[in-house]
Structure 1
Amino acid sequence: MSERHRGLWARTFTLIAMAALAAGCVARPVGDFGRAQPSVLHDQVMPYAGQLIATSRKEPVSNLNQTDQEREMHDRTWRFLIAAHSRDWMFDASVELQRTRIGSARDYRYGAERYYNWLRSTQYRSSPTRYNTVGRHILADIDTLPTTFQSICAVEEVDRQRRVALVELSGIEDSVAGNVAARHAENRWHIDWFVRALNYRYESYSYALDHLLVETPHEQSMSVDENLRRMRPWVDRANRGDFCSSNSGSGSGHGVTIPSRFQSMVYDKEVVVPK
């Protein structure tokens, strides 16, 4: 395909994507535990458009078949790239445009205050419920991190095996080697995106807890802080690129003890009786 025709197709599919966004159907459908659900639009149409657009931006684009491990990684990391419980702070639609490469990466622009702003604007019958909400969200992340790390480790092994095969097998065309390099770059970009998203979540939860302590002090904050302490080792492992360690994220030596927020706090112990 010529450069002119490629650019024409890219513009055409961009218009299709924008029309889908206007129709409110760009946000990717999710199932249990936030994992992505199959969709023709999201699994075929938009990725194809994204490949054309990424090619026009001179980015690496592979056409290798996706392995089961790569598909599993994409499905498991998806819940960390969005937040179905609070769309306003994780931008489902723009994230889907980024995933399919129709749009460029935008997650660098997200601020940690968005989650707290969402909490403040959500009406609860009592202020401690906001602490419970943050605690549940952190636990949901912790519960799915082990299998998510395993899926990333499996993809790293697939990339390693591809590189070994290229070295050991003779007669492999240069175009295949180029495809392998492009797929490795794509996988690396996705893993790096997950790491940024995990850091963003941790920073958002921490920001929310600090500000809730100022706005509505309550002893429930202690359990949220403990959940953050449990999440921190996973964040540290992700930042080190340690996805294949056999140790759990909460193992000794893997975490960083964050300073306690509660040495001199005065807690509101009022019991709110539901009406």
Structure 2
Amino acid sequence: MIGDRVLPFAGRATAEIYGQPASWSILTDDERELRTRAYRFLMPAHEWQVIERVLADLARHRIIPTSLSFQARRGYWDALRFSRGTSPAPLFRRIAQDAEQDRVLIAPLRTMAERVLEADRARLQFLLYVRHLEERQAEEAALRVAENRCLIAWIRAEARERAERYRFALERLAVEAPQRDAVGPERALAALEPEIATLDTLPVGALDACADDVAPTPAPVAGPAAPPPDGVIVFKE
């Protein structure tokens, strides 16, 4: 009840206060699946990052601004060191496993994001053929499209940052306890980074356009229209 109803409701209401795109329309099956797959990349990679996980979950539901859920580059490394035993070998394996799992999950995530973006294009196109279109309906459609684009941009940025955290931990572990086990995570990271780069083909613009103070804005009444920031949907009556 809390995870499926209370937090999403509170998050949408709070996002409106922050000025973020927040639609109250029902989620499509693909949009729901996209949000489920986003969980992996929006949460800290290590389960011992307890405080960061709490903040990240609140930010994922948009109850707090994303700026308050900032994950330090060394957070994964600190949790890794804190959980270590008497041998560095399990730590090298953990980095390799986390990187490999991310790599495997990116392709289906990208496919789902492409399906959501295609549906959004159809949604906006369909607005042109609605006989009796209410202003609120058009606004809700624009807000949902902006919401989806901002989510995809956020996933892409966090996926890239996760790879940087893995490399940060690997480099320090290799210096602290150099051994042949470092080859496995290095290969896993080498395979992960080009997979993350495929997310750059998604037409969602930069994450900066989804700042906490950015919301869909109406087009000017007269004069040439300035191009909107990437990720912000401008809609007309």
Would you call these one fold, judging by a TM-score over 0.5?
A: yes
Q: Is the 8 A contact 1:89 1:115 kept in 2?
A: no
Query: Is the CA contact 1:89–1:118 (under 8 Å) kept in the aligned structure 2?
Result: no
Shift of residue 89, structure 1, vs aligned partner: 7.1
TM value normalised by structure 2: 0.79
- Equivalence for 2:11: 50
Q: What does 1:1-275 align with in structure 2 at a 5 Å threshold?
A: 40-83=1-44, 85-88=46-49, 91-106=52-67, 109-241=70-202
Please state whether the residue corresponding to 1:91 is helix, strand or coil: helix
Count of aligned positions: 204
Note closer, same or farther for the CA distance 1:180–1:130 as it changes in structure 2 (3 Å cut): same
Whole-angstrom distance in 2 between the partners of 1:84 and 1:214: 22
Cα distance, 1:85 vs. partner?
A: 4.0
The structure showing larger relative contact order (alpha-carbon pairs under 8 Å, at least 6 residues apart) is 2
- Once the two structures are aligned, what percentage of the paired residues are identical? 27
Runs of 4+ in 1 over 6 A off after TM superposition: none
**Length-normalised TM-score, structure 1:** 0.69
- CA–CA distance in 2 between the matches of 1:219 and 1:232? 21
Contact 1:152 1:191 in 2 (8 A): yes
- Rounded to whole Å, the distance in 2 between the matches of 1:151 and 1:135 is 25
Q: Residues 242 and 217 (structure 1 numbering): CA distance in 2 closer, same or farther, change over 3 Å?
A: farther
Of the two, which has the highest radius of gyration?
1
Question: Structure 1 residues 119, 87: closer, same or farther in 2, change over 3 A?
Answer: closer
On the 8 A contact 1:206/1:228 being kept in 2, the answer is: yes
Q: Does structure 1 conserve the Cα–Cα contact (< 8 Å) formed by 2:11 and 2:62?
A: yes
Q: Tell me if structure 2 keeps the 8 A contact 1:82–1:90.
A: no
The match for 1:32 is none
1:227–1:241 distance in 2 versus 1, CA, 3 Å: same
TM-align CA RMSD: 2.1
- For structure 2, list consecutive stretches of 5 or more residues without a partner in the other structure: 205-237
For residues 165-191 of structure 1, the C-alpha deviation after alignment (integer angstroms, 9 at most, x for no partner) is 012333222211100111111111211
- Segments of 5+ residues of structure 1 without an aligned counterpart are 1-39, 244-275
Query: What letter matches 2:21 in structure 1?
Result: P
